[in-house]
Chains A and B, each alone.
Chain A
Amino acid sequence: MTRFRDRLLVHLLLLLAVVLGCNFLLVRVVNLENARRTIDEDLHSAAEVFDRVLRLRLDKLRLGARLMSDDWAFRRLYGGTEDFSDPLQRRTLVSGLENYRTRMRDAAFLQLVSPDDELLADTMETGQTAPGPFAFPMLLRAAEEADDYTAARFEAQPDGSLALLVAVPLLLPEPSGWIVAGFLADDQLAANFRGMTGVEVSFVAETAAGPQLVASSLEPGLRAEMREALDAAGSGARGLFDLSVSDDDTWISTWATLPGGGQARGLLQQSLSRELAPFQRLEATLQWLTLAALLVSALLAVWLALGISRPVAELARGVRRIAEGRYDEPVVVGARDEMGQLASAFNGMARGLQERDRVRDLLGKNVSPEVAAELMRRPAALGGEEKDVTIMFTDVRGFTGLSEASVPADLLATLNGYFTELTRVIEAHGGIVDKYIGDAVMAVFGAPVETSDHARSAVACAAEIRRVLRAYNAARAEAGQARLDTGMGLASGKVVAGNMGSAARYNYTVIGDTVNLAARLQDETKAFKVDCVIAGSTAARCGHPEWLRPLGEVTVRGKTEAVGVFTLRDGAA
């Protein structure tokens, strides 16, 4: 992972994936909580509706039975029945009961019970001929204890169904028996409640074998599973509890007590997965959005990375070009942002470097490379320092005659060729050409770069010049050109080296007596008839007496003291 682009891409995508993942999880948790809260509220309000509606129906039933009990026609029908085993009287009684049941509408069945708990007549009876025991005496005992002499209970019927029974006294006008009215807690009733409350409703009878789902609004396919879940859960739960019929189908449930109690309860339920279904669609959408966001972010990250890495790569290439000394190709970065500013600054720097190199190059051509380097190194200011150096002056003998005999352009070419040879040799020996003065050359050894063997170098240089010029002149002679015989004067000693001139324009040069002496000694070559006169100061510093031959002493012009002078032996250095 070395490329910046890849790193940026990975970091951005990781960050985004974490953010989106957290977002997704958060949405999921919130949705789940929301669904549970909604179901909680739904179940609570459903329980209230369930209770109220059941009580209303119960009250209606009770009122109906009560009115029936006080009805004169019914009193006469009941009070006039002498023998409850007589087929005709019995049929009449049941038929009359059926008539009242139709009036009451809400009652699924009506029963008449004697004070001795005998079932005298029943609208649901089929072909019975004699009174039998009433199946729910507890209901009547509860009624006797109640203030209003009535009672209501959910009771499991012999056929396994569940019914809400209401018992009211038959008043003639003292209690002379019971009217029992009831309606069935069946699938129809459960479905009606579902229609009212929006939650699933089941009626559960408490039996010795555990809770039994008697009637329900649940789809028939689901009931068997719900029965198993109920069996597993038992009936001890309070408040909300979960019933799982399968791995992905959990029903949040709550028990609802039925008015009149009895051995039955209501079970109100709402499917969590059903409640979550709309949220799941949202989650699916969110998943796709997450993927799309990741993709778009990846593209953006690549684009962003390219926007940074491409200019960086271009700048790197630019740096390499600069290192190779190619200043001509500027870095091209299209952007106007910080990278663009950097590229622009970089190009400016390249131009500056190019300018400096050009200046240095030009300087090197105008002055010696060492001087140029010294000028570059030092702060540009006037002033100098004392140094121990060797100065060499050269001059072309008979230059006046030569210049008269030549056209100026040819003369310049000749001189340039001559100077080129000399300069090469001087620089090869660590000297610098201080200046060209007409046909003369002034060279310095030991400045600006201080050396300890500047005298030896200068003497060796002179010997080399002698050899080079011999070959040079031989070639010129062959070409039929005039010889350029040269005189050389060498002197060593203290000089002041530095920038001299005005603040606006100055040269690096050296001044001092040594310079003058070298110039004078060069003049003395004619008198001594040698090509080179070397001052004793140079000879002393040279360290190679075998290279030198003493010429004696000379008092140069402008000097009072005579100095010992030497010349080069043949084959020196």
Chain B
Amino acid sequence: MRRVVLMALAMAAGFPAVAAAHLSVKVTDEEGQPVENAVVTFFPAGGAPAVAPRDAEMVQSGKRFSPSILVVPVGSRVKFPNRDEVAHHVYSFSSPKKFDLPLYVGEAVAPVVFDRPGVVTLGCNIHDWMVAHIFVSATPFHAVSGTDGRAHLHGVPSGGGVIEVWHPRLRGKPVSLERPAEGGDVPVAVLRLRPEVQRSEAPSNRRKSGGYR
């Protein structure tokens, strides 16, 4: 069942095809509610330009990953600084990048290079509730939706192309939308999401009240 409603329209209708432009995409769930933290990428019809790798950080702080979603171009190097007073064991069994960083603290650990596109799900082996995703993008045009479900892509060339939308709770493969060459409304991507896995966070020793969240 893939009830995808697609209505794409270039916002900058009438602009020259090569001119850099702005692309907004709206992401909702099947009930029409805006979906936050969806990664929207755009592949121009003429082929995506080469991406420039960069350095990024996936911080562990307060026994949480920050940010929960990190989008990096292919080939980027990501550091995993641990700013907690306990060690973490960061791992991934995702096929674009399988790795694990056994128990460490501080920033001394070597950065990890993400050289294949795709989604890498991160976990901490000793803290089950710590979950984060690194989206390794093969295109420079990407954005993450906000609380209003809107993702704003900048510097997108005008003209047709394919919009892809991914979310951590997405069932199945990323949703693809065709962006027509000429104008139109804001494209809306409707995602079929699975329920969130309830994860209990272990109580902090510093917290007097204790108990589970």
List A residues at the B interface (Cβ < 8 Å).
70, 72, 75, 78-80, 144-145, 147-149, 169, 171-176
Query: Could you say which residues of chain A place their CB within 8 Å of the CB of B125?
Result: 72, 75
Complex: how many Å from CA A393 to CA B93? 169
Quick check: B198 and A174 within 8 Å, CB to CB? no
With A172-B123, A173-B121, A173-B123 already in contact, the answer to whether A75 and B198 are too (CB < 8 A) is no
Q: Tell me which residues across on chain A come within 8 A of B195, comparing CB atoms.
A: 144-145, 149
26 contacts between A and B (CB under 8 A): A72-B89, A72-B125, A75-B93, A75-B125, A78-B93, A79-B93, A79-B98, A80-B93, A144-B194, A144-B195, A171-B123, A171-B197, A172-B93, A172-B121, A172-B123, A173-B121, A173-B122, A173-B123, A173-B124, A173-B128, A173-B131, A174-B121, A174-B123, A175-B194, A175-B197, A176-B93
Report B-chain residues with C-beta under 8 Å of the C-beta of A80. Answer: 93, 98
Could you say which of B98, B130, B194, B198 contacts A173, with CB atoms under 8 Å apart?
A: B130
CA distance A176 to B131 in the complex (A): 13
On chain B, the residues within 8 Å of A75 by CB distance are 91, 93, 125
A174-B131 CB under 8 A given contacts A144-B195, A148-B198: yes
Cβ of B53: which chain A residues have Cβ within 8 Å of it? none
Q: How many residues of B contact A (CB 8 A)?
A: 17
Complex: A144 Cα to B193 Cα, angstroms: 11
Q: Report B-chain residues with C-beta under 8 Å of the C-beta of A70.
A: 128
Contact A149 B197 (CB under 8 A): yes
CB distance from A273 to the nearest CB of B (A): 52
List chain B positions with a Cβ less than 8 A from chain A. 89, 91, 93, 98, 121-125, 128, 130-131, 168, 194-195, 197-198
Name B124's closest neighbour in chain A (CB-CB): A173
Contacts of B124 in A (CB 8 A): 173
- What residues of A have a CB within 8 angstroms of the CB of B89 in the complex? 72
Give the distance in Å from the alpha carbon of A523 to the alpha carbon of B131 in the complex.
174
Distance (whole angstroms) from the CB of B60 to the closest CB of chain A: 14
A173 CA / B123 CA spacing, docked (Å): 5
Which residues of chain B come closer than 8 Å to A147, judged between CB atoms? 198
On chain A, the residues within 8 Å of B168 by CB distance are 174
Q: Which residues from chain A contact B93 at a C-beta distance below 8 Å?
A: 75, 78-80, 172, 176
CB contacts (< 8 Å) of A172 on chain B: these are 93, 121, 123
Which of A75, A174, A175 has the most CB atoms of chain B within a 10 A radius of its CB? Answer: A174
The complex places the Cα of A144 from the Cα of B131 at a distance, in Å, of 19
**Taking the nearest CB of chain A, how far is it from the CB of B49, in angstroms?**
31
A382 to B122, CA, bound (A): 150
Residues of B within 8 A of A175 (CB): 194, 197
